[in-house]
Amino acid sequence: MKTEVKVWRKGEFYFVLLLFIFTLYYVVEAFSFPPMSRFFPVIVGGAALVIVTVDLLQLMIPKLGRRFRGFKGGELFKTEKEEELARALEEAKQGDTIKEEGGKAIEESPTMGIIKIFLWFVGAYLLFYFLGYLLFTMVFMFLFLKFYAHLAMRRSLAMTAGFTLFVWLAFSLFLKLDIFAGGKLF
């Protein structure tokens, strides 16, 4: 017999509820900003509210939650080889910490994954500190897509160029910030 834990007994429910309340508060607060200044926080906060609301609903309504659990993060960046490996691992029920290297399978420890993510954060902070937001966006996005997500060179460059253009338009034209704001080298 399968018993489901009530939603109010789950810690993640309270975390998502708190996140929803904070996000809602900041979106409402953004409406008190001058018209040009509220544009960016309202758009970002509105998108965050939609995502958090969907997460809250999937926690509260189990039937809806089972539908959303079929979607996994990172599917946008998966290559065909990664998808085949993920399918094979799912069939074998071995988890997703196995990587193929030189024809043999090796297991990556969870600690190594945490260390890699920590190093990405440290690298991102240093890039932003020294280069400023626009160059940081270009360099970090390309490095992340090429070496962490293992995308092809052309796809990495195209996605980096598109995102950099978006950041440049959002920050330079709408928010009237200097292109190299925040960079210690410039």
Asked whether residue 11 is assigned to any structural domain, the reply reads yes
Helix axes 153-168, 133-143, angle to 10 degrees: 160
Q: Are residues 61 and 132 both part of a single domain? A: no
Lowest model confidence (mean pLDDT) among 15-19, 51-55, 90-94: 90-94
Q: Are residues 118 and 182 both part of a single domain? A: yes
Q: Are residues 113 and 184 both part of a single domain? A: yes
pLDDT digits (tens, 9 = 90+) for 97-153: 455 556 555 666 778 878 888 898 898 889 888 887 788 889 989 998 998 888 899
Q: Are residues 93 and 21 both part of a single domain? A: no
Q: Are residues 25 and 38 both part of a single domain? A: yes
Residue 72's pLDDT is 56
Instruction: Name the percent of the chain lying above pLDDT 90.
Output: 22
Asked whether residue 166 is assigned to any structural domain, the reply reads yes
Q: Are residues 57 and 104 both part of a single domain? A: no
Q: Report the number of distinct structural domains present in the chain.
A: 3
Asked whether residue 75 is assigned to any structural domain, the reply reads no
Asked whether residue 178 is assigned to any structural domain, the reply reads yes
Domain that residue 84 falls in: 80-108
Asked whether residue 130 is assigned to any structural domain, the reply reads yes
Sign of the Cα pseudo-torsion (80, 152, 144, 42, in order) = negative
DSSP codes of every residue in the chain = ---PPPGGG-HHHHHHHHHHHHHHHHHHHHTTS-HHHHHHHHHHHHHHHHHHHHHHHHHH-HHHHHHHTT--TTGGG--HHHHHHHHHHHHHT--S-EEEETTEEEE--HHHHHHHHHHHHHHHHHHHHHH-HHHHHHHHHHHIIIIIS---HHHHHHHHHHHHHHHHIIIIIIS---TTTT-S--
Q: Are residues 95 and 58 both part of a single domain? A: no
Mean pLDDT of the chain: 78
Q: Are residues 113 and 185 both part of a single domain? A: yes
Between residues 1 and 40, the one the model is more confident about:
40
Residue 102's pLDDT is 60
Residue 2's pLDDT is 54
Residue 92's pLDDT is 67
Residue 1's pLDDT is 44
**Residue 83 near residue 75 (C-beta atoms within 8 A):** no
Asked whether residue 73 is assigned to any structural domain, the reply reads no
Q: Are residues 98 and 119 both part of a single domain? A: no
Q: Are residues 183 and 166 both part of a single domain? A: yes
Residue 77's pLDDT is 52
Sign of the Cα pseudo-torsion (163, 168, 169, 170, in order) = positive
For residue 174, name the pLDDT band (cuts at 50, 70, 90).
confident
Q: Are residues 123 and 148 both part of a single domain? A: yes
- Enter the pTM of the model: 0.44
Residue 160's pLDDT is 93
